[in-house]
Structure 1
Amino acid sequence: MLSLFTFGFAQKRPKIAYTPAKDLTLVGKVASTENIFHRVDTNAFAGLPAAVKKRVVQSGGLAVSFKTNSPAIYAKWCTAGTVASATMTSVAYRGLDLYIKKDGRWQYAGVARPREGQTCASTTIVRGMDNAEKECLLYLPLYDETTRLEVGVDEGSTVQAGAYPFQKRVLIYGSSIVQGSSASRSGMAYPARLSRETGMDFLNLGMGGSAKMEKSVADMIASFDVDAFVLDCIPNSSPKMVSERTAYLVETIRKKHPNAPIIVMQSVIRERGYFNLASGERVRQQNANVKVEMVKLLQKGVKNLYFIPADDFLGHDHEGSVDGTHPNDLGFDRMIQVIKPRLVEILGTSIEK
């Protein structure tokens, strides 16, 4: 009786129809690239440091927008197979993160977990939904190079490129914190959250450990066609670099973009600096030096230049980081509560329509 009952109610697994990501809408691109999953075409810019070249081909901040009426959504994807950092989840590092719009707001729907020791994986992200049309946003891995991505739906369901979900292009140049370390999944990185919460397109140009304001990097950043710039690069730049390089970066951007808002952020306060005296002094010097440089630039007449201090970024209970430096989800949430109102105030009034 049990076998007959089981047989009688067994459901056939639906066949899956896959669509390459190139046929959907790619979100978060700073510029066009030959490899659609790279953030920057490194061949287009001379003199970039090797560490920068390594980071900008990683897919942090990129997402795919699509619409489907499928009751289930699947994915198969490949990455370069970089070993995940000990301070990040494998889902954030080289997995996928799906959001679906519900009642007018983007809501988390599921993740695609990579397979340990394998560069490719396929999985069901979410199932059991109704067959109404859904707006979807699928975030790519933060710290690995994505080499292939296909989105799957139940055979017979519709799937098509979605509308571009955000307006205005705001480039965020910065450290591993911008790239997404140590959010639990890629949709929780602070540029991604800012985009969903404000409707503005915050473009992730995080370069883990490598945002040091080199001349070649400054020239590259200034060449991008964007509406505004957020510079969150102080954590990677030594106090000496901050003093020597901030002006060139800001002034190079200003020459190419006479009216674009430029927003400079101080470094997060590293938790280990409360006990490691040298670390604490380094951050104090970084933040003091960038403040001095900002005053100089404003005195020189640089317009539409703004400054966000870091005093409250991670809160004051010392629970906002994974490792004393990189925010956890709580730390990112606190950081957003500080910077989002200021960014909305500046960008809502300063970006030319």
Structure 2
Amino acid sequence: MAEVVDNLVWHDAAELPIRGKGWRLTKSPYDRLPPRALGFVPDGVWTLSRHCAGLHIVFKTKSPAIHVRWQLLRPELSMHHMPATGVSGLDLYGRNGKGKWRFIDNSCPNAQAGEHEFRMCGQKWGQYLLYLPLYNGLTKLEIGLPEQHKLVPLAEDQSVKPIVVYGTSITQGACASRPGTAAFSIAARQLDVPIINLGFSGSGKMEIELAEMLAELDARFYVLDNLRNMAGLVEERFEPFVRRLHKLRPDKRIVVTEDTDFRNMLPTQITAAALPIVNKLIGEGMGDILTFEPCKGMLGTDWETVIDRTHFNDIGMLRQAKVLVKMLKKYIAMT
């Protein structure tokens, strides 16, 4: 039920279609895993699943201003290597007359609870995309419009299967300055396809329970972006995970992305450990559905793509997105 305060009609975002969710029934509308995952997946994965990475709301309105007010799950608005605009911020995009999404503003949070007004500055977008925080959750989110303007929610086309991505902190969005500049968010906008982001920071380590969870989703195909987290774990976990996912979803393609190095010193030791297993599985008959995607040259040669030698800044995210768009487009054409 919408609430009217000072000539603004406040719409509860929990009652709107939230895109980027793999499971509709979650403990909080802004969680990424269902309640049954609690106690089934590692504690770190569950905690990170309450972060809103990849979740967004699309709607239409003719209002010249859009207000938001929020209550964040955690009081820690930022991290030592990532600003509050990315960790806890809300990003608003508008779709122009050519169908392209363009950035409008970020909520720039300075408190766990707050309010922000997005001004259109004379632009008439009509359709809007509101990204939720990358590394924080929400307990409350409302969108406010002047009384004379309507909010028309736009749900995802359920006939289009999502690409399901499982991975690391970089997958989740570290260390983009805003939710909209995370690589998989950029790729989803450019390709206009649904992507479910199951990046779980340093906890994305291919436990067999996560293969079970991924298999619950009827994906267009799966992208396993985990190798950065798999030092010392490849021999133990990589093959069982891929085999289990393939057994549960034998008709779905599985794309494995290469481990990265900001200096382009490739292959890394992790990749060197994973490649023989990939080749073994392909040789055993998985060649039609298992592919390995290299990242040579993805980050360029200037060493300007990272915050801390590991996590991507916006330059790194943009360069990764360019490679992702080309890669994902290839597999989209196959499905």
TM-score, normalising length: structure 1: 0.87
In the alignment, the residues of structure 2 paired with residue 133 and residue 310 of structure 1 have an alpha-carbon distance, to the nearest angstrom, of 36
In the alignment, the residues of structure 2 paired with residue 89 and residue 344 of structure 1 have an alpha-carbon distance, to the nearest angstrom, of 31
Equivalenced residue count is: 325
Q: Is 2:327 the counterpart of 1:342?
A: yes
What displacement does 1:34 show?
3.2
Q: Could you list the runs of 4 or more consecutive aligned residues of structure 1 that deviate by over 4 angstroms after TM superposition? A: none
Amino acid at match of 2:229: N
Give secondary structure in 2 for the equivalent of 1:344. helix
- Residue 292 of structure 1: which of 268, 271, 276 is its match? 276
Percent identical among aligned pairs is 30
- 1:200 matched to which residue of 2? 193
Structure 1 or 2: more helix by fraction:
1
Give secondary structure in 2 for the equivalent of 1:34. coil
Q: Which runs of 5+ in 2 are unaligned?
A: 1-5
Amino acid at match of 2:108: R
CA RMSD of aligned residues (A): 2.0
CA contact (8 A) 1:70 1:129 kept: no
Amino acid at match of 2:298: F
Give secondary structure in 1 for the equivalent of 2:282. helix
What displacement does 1:83 show?
4.2
What displacement does 1:224 show?
2.0
- 1:97 matched to which residue of 2? 91
Q: Is 2:17 the counterpart of 1:25?
A: yes
CA contact (8 A) 2:19 2:155 kept: no
CA contact (8 A) 1:25 1:66 kept: no
Q: Is 2:101 the counterpart of 1:106?
A: yes
What displacement does 1:16 show?
1.8
CA contact (8 A) 2:9 2:147 kept: yes
- Residue 126 of structure 1: which of 119, 129, 143 is its match? 119
What displacement does 1:76 show?
0.3
What displacement does 1:313 show?
2.4
What displacement does 1:229 show?
0.3
Q: Deviations over 1:199-254 (max 9, x none)?
A: 1111110111111111222222222222210000011111x311221112211111
In the alignment, the residues of structure 1 paired with residue 122 and residue 145 of structure 2 have an alpha-carbon distance, to the nearest angstrom, of 12
CA 127–333 in structure 1, closer or farther in 2 if over 3 Å, else same: closer
Q: Is 2:178 the counterpart of 1:185?
A: yes
In the alignment, the residues of structure 2 paired with residue 125 and residue 291 of structure 1 have an alpha-carbon distance, to the nearest angstrom, of 47
- Residue 168 of structure 2: which of 169, 175, 180 is its match? 175
Greater alpha carbon shift after TM alignment, 254-263 vs 135-144: 254-263
Q: Is 2:124 the counterpart of 1:140?
A: no
- Residue 242 of structure 1: which of 209, 234, 237 is its match? 234
Q: Which runs of 5+ in 1 are unaligned?
A: 1-13, 275-279
In the alignment, the residues of structure 2 paired with residue 53 and residue 177 of structure 1 have an alpha-carbon distance, to the nearest angstrom, of 18
Larger Rg: 1
Q: Is 2:252 the counterpart of 1:260?
A: yes
